[in-house]
Structure 1
């Protein structure tokens, strides 16, 4: 499988956003409004619809669910632990860490869906839907926590107000209750999903300032190493520990090596943090996914 071609559309959209913002009248004043539209409406619709689209067969995939949850938790623990390392923590800006820690454990759901279908067919889609359903709420809560805490905002208040968490939690509850999007509404949500992904990536490009990456090189290296090297190794160990079958192990390893979520930038920017820095990490993660996906799948 050509992973370069799989990730090329995401990288191209980031590049388009960057060029449009820098060299056309579509400057930051335009893209700030786009960010608001994506964050408060389009991404919530995307997350809700992607979770409820496929039934979660929880009983049949208990081992995969445990392995997926532990993989995400490992990413969260490693990302949070960076500032506690004496030889690294003193070189890390705590505010940048609060905004960027999410890069280490969040994942691009759309690339996950496309990749799973190519790797394992219809069953792969069902398995990745399960991982998305349990992983997205957990990762989103963990992403909001350090920013709310560092910004001295009420954590519960931020959770209740965060549209991404509301959408993922309600989507998971709707799925478990057996609710589905009506057939007549699916074409509309599908179009919103596609537009949300495109505009989210272009917004990340529009907010990108490559010079920002040089300000926290140790933090950048640590977070991307967790996302693209440590988590695939963790997933490989968990696949063996839970004796996952070949299809489940393949999907779990691909899940662990995905590029980070494009919503990382939007969330950081909307919560008042260093959006351009996070946008740079999203771009680098998309590029590194070309290498980490073959690496992870080669561990099977």
Structure 2
């Protein structure tokens, strides 16, 4: 019993600071110390500057033999594709046609660049940052392509084409920073110590600020008005998909940190970008916001519970 308490205490120590920052964002918004304008500006700063800098310098300084894990990334891609496909098939039976695009996106598109990366860095340090940065950067490509496909099919006012999808991906700061970081690491780019220290100051506010913005963008109304559809999509995202694919990963030989990384990335709550995509395509943005809110709340339990089970069974 004492050993279980120690394991649970360790998991709380590692993971709760991440979720506490989300709660801090909710409280700050509630007491009006931050507002929508602050959240919008901070989100833009995080997406276009802070997060790209964090990913670039983290990968640049990483050992590519460690950061590039084709087997791990390939399995994560496959799990994402299968979650997308199964969610879509289920939606044909259980979800009204007007809500299917948003439902499917909410069920597979995780907040890997913020929540997963923050947890991976907190749990595994530089190892988690380097591998997690590559995983988060590369999966954005898949997230964007699949989201555009399913939203375009069920939207009455949005039509997508291959050129616009490729253009958006080519301009994505996170994708560009990951690719640039890989190139910099391959050529052995070295930067002066003073610049690295300055960059550390700059990027140290990335994850706290991003998590505060996540919390600030949530609302009590979203929880109250979540509904069956939002709850169903959230359960697929943070419970059924990670439960199935982490168990399968263990069965085929994944162990230790790799298994933990898969849990953190598969069980991440629905990405805030899904709300932006829903609005841009004329889909049900209210449902998208509800899914983000519900999945974030549920992920606190599922991620911590999953980490506890992995630790308890020494996996």
Residue 276 of structure 1 corresponds to 289
SS at 2:34 equivalent: coil
1:75, distance to aligned residue in structure 2 (A): 2.8
1:170, distance to aligned residue in structure 2 (A): 1.8
Residue 239 of structure 1 corresponds to 253
Residue 50 of structure 1 corresponds to 58
* TM-score, structure 2 normalization: 0.76
Given that 2:141 and 2:169 are in contact with CA atoms closer than 8 Å, whether structure 1 keeps it comes out as yes
Measure, in 1, the Cα distance between the counterparts of 2:185 and 2:270.
Answer: 22
Measure, in 2, the Cα distance between the counterparts of 1:54 and 1:205.
Answer: 30
1:205, distance to aligned residue in structure 2 (A): 0.5
The 1:225/1:33 distance shift into structure 2, 3 A limit, reads: same
Residue 83 of structure 2 corresponds to 78
C-alpha distance after superposition, 1:89-142 (max 9, x if no partner): 55853124335521287761232133225xxxxxxx54x466335422331112
Gaps of 5+ in 2: 1-6, 152-157, 280-284
Does 1:93 find its partner at 2:100?
A: yes
Given that 1:79 and 1:226 are in contact with CA atoms closer than 8 Å, whether structure 2 keeps it comes out as no
Given that 1:17 and 1:203 are in contact with CA atoms closer than 8 Å, whether structure 2 keeps it comes out as yes
SS at 2:64 equivalent: coil
Moved more, 268-277 or 164-173: 268-277
User: Which one of 229, 233, 238 corresponds to residue 224 of structure 1?
Assistant: 238
1:37, distance to aligned residue in structure 2 (A): 1.4
Given that 2:11 and 2:307 are in contact with CA atoms closer than 8 Å, whether structure 1 keeps it comes out as yes
Measure, in 2, the Cα distance between the counterparts of 1:133 and 1:205.
Answer: 22
| Number of equivalences | 280
Does 1:295 find its partner at 2:309?
A: yes
Measure, in 2, the Cα distance between the counterparts of 1:237 and 1:40.
Answer: 39
Q: CA RMSD in A?
A: 3.0
Measure, in 1, the Cα distance between the counterparts of 2:39 and 2:142.
Answer: 26
Does 1:11 find its partner at 2:19?
A: yes
The 1:218/1:263 distance shift into structure 2, 3 A limit, reads: closer
Residue 4 of structure 2 corresponds to none
Residue 256 of structure 2 corresponds to 250
1:291, distance to aligned residue in structure 2 (A): 0.6
Whose radius of gyration is greater, 1 or 2? 2
Gaps of 5+ in 1: 118-124, 241-248
The 1:25/1:114 distance shift into structure 2, 3 A limit, reads: closer
1:282, distance to aligned residue in structure 2 (A): 3.3
SS at 1:57 equivalent: helix
Residue 159 of structure 2 corresponds to 152
* TM-score, structure 1 normalization: 0.80
